[in-house]
Chains A and B, each alone.
Chain A
Amino acid sequence: MSYTVLVFVKQVPDTQNITGDAMKADGTVNRAALPAIFNPEDLNALELALELKDRFGAKVIVGTMGPPNAAEVLRASLYRGADKCVLLTDRSFAGADTLATSYALSCCAKKLGKFDLVLCGRQAIDGDTAQVGPQLAEKLDIPQLAYIEDVIELSKKKITVKRSIEGGYEVLESPTPALLTVVDSNEPRPAAARRMMKYKKARTITELNKEHNNADYTDSEALAVEQEKLEASDLLIHEWSAAYVGADIERIGLKGSPTKVKQIQSVILTAGDAKQIEPTDKGVNDLIHELIEDHTLG
């Protein structure tokens, strides 16, 4: 008996490690200069899916919505053990808020057919909203299990999970299919060397095209042959458009997003008017004295 587990992941700018190189002269962040990474908690979701594959036998399908170069996180998923990958990419998806994103992902999940579980990371580090998981569950009309630390038991009809709650944990039982949002509670496995050797050749059609164009080689028939070869050796990263997954154009991208951004202000770091204290005995003594005098301490 085998399960089908979908994992939805996101490529995000690395907002947690902003170095001097990504800062502009005015103290704001140059977003374009940030490296794109695999959203950390999505790696935890992928790891949980791969553990389910090891424990119960499962086909792990990884999907992402993003620009063509988001194929990078899909290759990273293949290196770790994913069986199939789908890149949901279309200009009309651009500018989506969480509602429009969850709708697009729900179309992708439905297109993939029958599944037992959908896994997502709890939240992405670029928005920190934790909304897409629960919204996707609602769109698919399946129960959601949030903040999952581990899967205790899985059968064809139900799943038992351990999840974090405020100040503790709960064990929940739910029928499947169900959606799980996964927290940072496992150690994502590294890329496997042997898989890397094989899947570094995995390509989307866009990438294949681009490589051919760069080589000034545009014979469409040859391209089709190449694509078939990739598919036959499991190296094709599927690229799906909005139309292909049957998404209603009114419900995706900016159009499908109820929230609008009125204003963006960059956070500018200004030097405060702090009092400089020398790290000497005298400096520290005077500081403590001042704080006791004004009743901050003591």
Chain B
Amino acid sequence: MSDKIGNVWIFIEQEGGVIADVSLELVSKGRELAQELGVKTEAILLGDNLGGCVDKLYHYGCDTVLMAEDKRLEPFTVLPYAKVLMSLIKEHNPNILLFGATYKGRELAPRVASEKLAGLTADCTELRIDDFDDKVNKKSYKNKLMQIRPAFGGNIIATIVNTWDDPQMVTVREGVMKMDEPDTSRKGKLIKVIPEISTEDTIIKVIERIREEKAVNLKAAPVIVAGGYGVGSADNFKLISDLAEALGGEVGASRAAVDAGWIDHDHQVGQTGVTVRPKLYIACGISGSIQHRAGMDESKKIIAINTDPDAPIFSVAHYSIVGDLNVVIPKMIKAFKAKV
């Protein structure tokens, strides 16, 4: 093995030729890491009929696009994807490999990491380059990827380093990294890969596939009114949607409210839901577990309404209202309607 450090790879997730936002966010992050390491940013694009994706990847910052087109790569199934990715890794030895922590990414990345005997860290919230002194094993590593993630239900933040062979593999949730503006003057190099897929890799068959676009778009909403366990019932969630409607916003929810069955998972904000950065986030009856806070604490303004003055949500709020949401929300609707 040469001492030359490998490139930064981003697994590009696409559905019907449309690139997932999380992949473009990771291209932005990957480019930053690659520049620090003095290596290239490369996209790994698998599927069929992908020609329309390539320029966009250059515009967002990829130097190279490695593209494998094959009808057996569409729709996604894990085995042929793992096969193609594995053979590319063996051939090119990337230093870092980033995946979106999506359904596909979380299914594919561990299968590949297991075969490659590489470390894999899930749901990183921050990535940077630094040196690592492994005091236990008395070894020092230069320019490793610091993989920072919440652990233990979000009660601790761990910095993890992969000390075995490259690639250093991680997954990152959508909305966690910031997407750079595209530069349409950027150009790159396309490498077409002929995938080697055998019949053994296509033993999983997709018999039926039903997909609907999400009815709620929390990420684009300027105002989010979110309800938690303190809302008390499915019926009472109407209060939350009334306020959201009055303010021209969307309805969000904590995991506790979703788990209670009061509202659909599409509305969930937090580590296992969507990460949001609206102009205004109103947390109603949400105690504010770290998992929830991680998904909304970068909102420009946060109002927290809770009867418990010690609720952790108040630690990230700009405006704290210690009180009953059943009393406060109607007052807010009335006050807003009177002003506009």
Contact = CB atoms under 8 A, between A and B. Distances in A.
A131 B327 CA distance: 45
Interface in A272-298: 272, 274-281, 283-285, 287-289, 291-292, 296-298
Nearest to B247: A297
Contact of B163 (A15, A29, A31, A258): A258
Interface in B304-340: 304-305, 312, 314-324, 327-328, 331-332, 335-336, 338-340
A26 B306 CA distance: 23
B221 interface: no
B194 interface: no
A18 interface: yes
Nearest to B290: A267
A297 B79 contact: no
B80 to A, nearest CB: 11
A192 interface: no
B146 interface: yes
Contacts of A133: 110
A264 interface: yes
B114 A139 contact: yes
Interface string B149-161: 0111111111111
Contacts of A274: 304, 314, 317-320
A175 B199 CA distance: 13
B173 to A, nearest CB: 11
A291 B156 contact: no
A181 to B, nearest CB: 8
A108 to B, nearest CB: 16
Given A275-B318, A279-B324, A281-B331, A289 B339 contact: yes
Contacts of A145: 204
A144 interface: yes
A271 interface: yes
A113 interface: no
Interface in A100-131: 102, 125-131
Contacts of A160: 207
Nearest to A23: B155
B122 interface: yes
A28 B210 CA distance: 44
B340 A296 contact: no
Contacts of B155: 15, 18, 28-29, 31, 266-267
A98 interface: yes
Interface of A: 13, 15-16, 18, 28-29, 31, 97-99, 102, 125-135, 137-139, 143-147, 160, 164-175, 254, 257-267, 269-272, 274-281, 283-285, 287-289, 291-292, 296-298
12 contacts: A128-B153, A147-B103, A254-B136, A258-B119, A259-B163, A274-B317, A280-B331, A284-B335, A285-B335, A288-B339, A296-B280, A298-B340
